[in-house]
Amino acid sequence: MQQSQQREYPLALTIAGSDSGGGAGIQADLKTMQELGVFGTSALTAVTAQNSMGVHGVYPLSVETVAAQMDAVLSDMGADSVKTGMLFAPDIIRVVSAKLGQYGRIPVIVDPVMIAKGGAPLLQEEAVETMKVHLFPLSEVVTPNIPEACALLGLQEDDIRSEADMAEAGRALLRYGCGAVLIKGGHLPAGSAGGECVDVLVTGGAEPSMFRTPRLPTRHTHGTGCTLSSAIAAMRARGENLPDAVRAAKHFVTAAIAASVPTGQGIGSLWHAA
């Protein structure tokens, strides 16, 4: 654990992209951390021009800009946990991995963000391999949804159709050196899990753990993945163990989905305030 001598409260760092529409990315991460009583810091990797209708532009930052933000935060303030989100390009992934290696043993939650719900690519195709090789071995947990797990493993999307398939995909991803894998089941066909949304946590030893919450009937779910991974990071920064952090994070996201709001003409976002 990296902790500055000056502070007596948990602090988490998000390394991710900006969503100008405020529902996902850095904005969702910082709101989540604040709501969970954790001081949030950020290293921005890319700016997106985005609203409820979709992603209108992606503007990656230079590797020097990303490295300088990480150095500034980690050399002075430290971090009790780190979350990575949209990283976009291979060179950004390489510099983030190198810096995380340099600053030592901080729990790293990797959300392997690839494609926005509207279809816009948030990770270049050639960056997928870089992420598996350089970042996954530094992770405490990687949190793909089903389409992301399929892309990472070279599967077709309907190859993962059940909780058993999710567990098998998680075990396959562990081979890249991830500390654990949380496969999120929100994309399973509605009704396949009895009206529930099930996430499967696969770790090295024990049987997989299943986390179940009600599946809520709203389309305003922009930012759910960002919110879940930053909530896990926040709970880890507060000292919870990984399964307890996942359980608390999943309940936090479910409550935020239950309170979600339309924000424009398209897909609305989660509401974070209690």
Rg (CA), the chain: 17
CB of 229 to ligand PLP, least distance (A): 8
Please say which residue, 16 or 146, places its beta carbon nearer to ligand PLP.
16
- Select the span of 63-71, 94-102, 220-228, 233-241 touching ligand PLP (CB under 6 A): 220-228
Instruction: Tell me the two tokens of residue 75.
Output: 């050399």
Q: Is 224 a catalytic residue?
A: yes
**32 close to 234: Cβ distance less than 8 angstroms:** yes
Question: What is the torsion angle, in degrees rounded to the nearest 10, for the CA atoms of residue 56, residue 252, residue 143 and residue 86?
Answer: 30
**Cα–Cα nearest to 200, from 230, 231, 161:** 161
Q: Quick check: is 48 catalytic?
A: no
The rounded distance, in Å, linking the Cα atoms of 248 and 214 is: 14
Q: Which of 10, 22, 185, 225 binds ligand PLP (CB under 6 A)?
A: 225
Residue closest to ligand PLP, measured at CB:
25
117 forms part of the interface with ligand PLP (CB under 6 A): yes
CA–CA dist 14, 152 (Å, integer): 22
Shortest Cβ 114–ligand PLP spacing (Å): 9
* Biggest CA pair distance of the chain: 50
The stretch near ligand PLP (CB under 6 A) out of 14-22, 89-97, 149-157, 165-173 is 14-22
> Residue 187 interacts with ligand PLP (CB under 6 A)?
no
- The question of whether 226 is a catalytic residue gets the answer yes
CA distances for 149 relative to 21, 27, 168, 169, 233, angstroms: 26, 25, 11, 7, 20
| Catalytic residue status for 104 | no
Choosing from 10, 40, 78, 223, the residue that interacts with ligand PLP (CB under 6 A) is 223
CB 44 within 8 A of CB 26: yes
Give residues 56-95 in contact with ligand PLP (rule: CB under 6 A): 85-86
Q: Using CA atoms, how far apart are residues 26 and 47, in angstroms rounded to an integer?
A: 10
Active site residue 250: no
Comparing CB distances to ligand PLP, the nearer of 17 and 179 is 17
Q: Is 16 in the site for ligand PLP (CB under 6 A)?
A: yes
For residues 244 and 253, what is the distance between their CA atoms, to the nearest angstrom?
Answer: 14
Q: Reply yes or no on whether 223 is catalytic.
A: yes
Is residue 25 close enough to count as binding ligand PLP by CB under 6 A? yes
Q: Which stretch binds ligand PLP (CB under 6 A): 15-23, 150-158, 189-197, 208-216?
A: 15-23
Rounded-to-integer distance, Cα 217 and Cα 197, Å: 11
Across-strand partners of 60?
46
* 122 is a contact residue toward ligand PLP (CB under 6 A): yes
| Calpha distance 208→171 (Å, rounded) | 9
- Which residue, 109 or 122, has its beta carbon nearer to ligand PLP? 122
Name which of 1 and 259 has its Cβ closer to ligand PLP: 259
Nearer to ligand PLP, 83 or 167 (CB): 83
> Which residue has tokens 């043993």?
105
Binding site for ligand PLP (CB under 6 A): 16-17, 19, 24-25, 48, 50, 85-86, 113, 116-117, 122, 222-226
Catalytic residues: 184, 221, 223-226
